[in-house]
Amino acid sequence: MTTAKGLPQMQQDIETKPKRAARLLTLEEFRKKYANREDGFKYEFKNGEIIKSPGNMNPKQLYIVKNLNRRFSRTQAYAQGDELIAEVDQLTAPARQRRPDLSYWTSDRIAAGLESVSEFVIEIISPTDKLEDVEEKLLEYFEAGVKVVWQIRPRSQSVHVYTSPVDVIICTGESVCSAAPVLPDFEMTAREIFENS
């Protein structure tokens, strides 16, 4: 049987059937399948869904990470064996796992395993990041117990330093970004963060 559009009825039925919703994963399934995947992408988990984004940093982002790590190496925390570590999975809620670009970990927490959230995280905002996703992730971090979030924005050469979802200082040029109260001696000007980037 052929319809008025000229498509066979069976083909038309197939094209108009609603698509089945994708099956949601459990956190355990997500971790088994995506935790150690090395394919150039970064995977996060939100309420059963996978959030996939580019995983490789561009040269500007790499310079920013280098500048941050060099400054961190001059802190008391670093002298005690603490670390600023890239892309550690963090459980921000029972069904949400995020992977910030950098996060601060004490040597004790590293020894105990990184099955929690850091008190200080850094996100380097890329051109592909959507504003609503950036804001949602910020709220999740604070709900999970993070105390300081730096959102580094290379395009505007600014750093948004949050100590709560509504308390923010925007640093540009010679203004100083601080990780206090978590790391009081980790301070840099915005210019130093973006140097050579």
Pair of tokens at residue 39:
């394919």
Distance CA 118, CA 105 (A): 6
Contact partners, residue 5, CB within 8 Å, separation at least 6 = 12
Can you give the residue ranges of every domain in the chain?
56-194
Could you identify the residue written with the tokens 């500048």? Answer: 67
- Which whole number is the average pLDDT over 160-180? 97
6-25 pLDDT, tens digit each = 545 544 444 555 555 566 66
CATH number of the domain at 56-194, out of 1.20.59.10, 3.40.309.10, 3.90.1570.10, 3.40.50.2020?
Answer: 3.90.1570.10
pTM above 0.75, yes or no: no
109-127 pLDDT, tens digit each = 888 776 678 999 999 998 8
- The H or E element containing residue 68 is helix 59-72
DSSP state, residue 2: B
State which amino acid sits at residue 144.
A
DSSP strand pairing (148-153 vs 120-124): parallel
Pair of tokens at residue 157:
């050469």
State which amino acid sits at residue 36.
N
**φ, ψ (nearest 5 deg) of residue 131:** -55, -45
Beta carbons of 162 and 151 less than 8 angstroms apart? yes
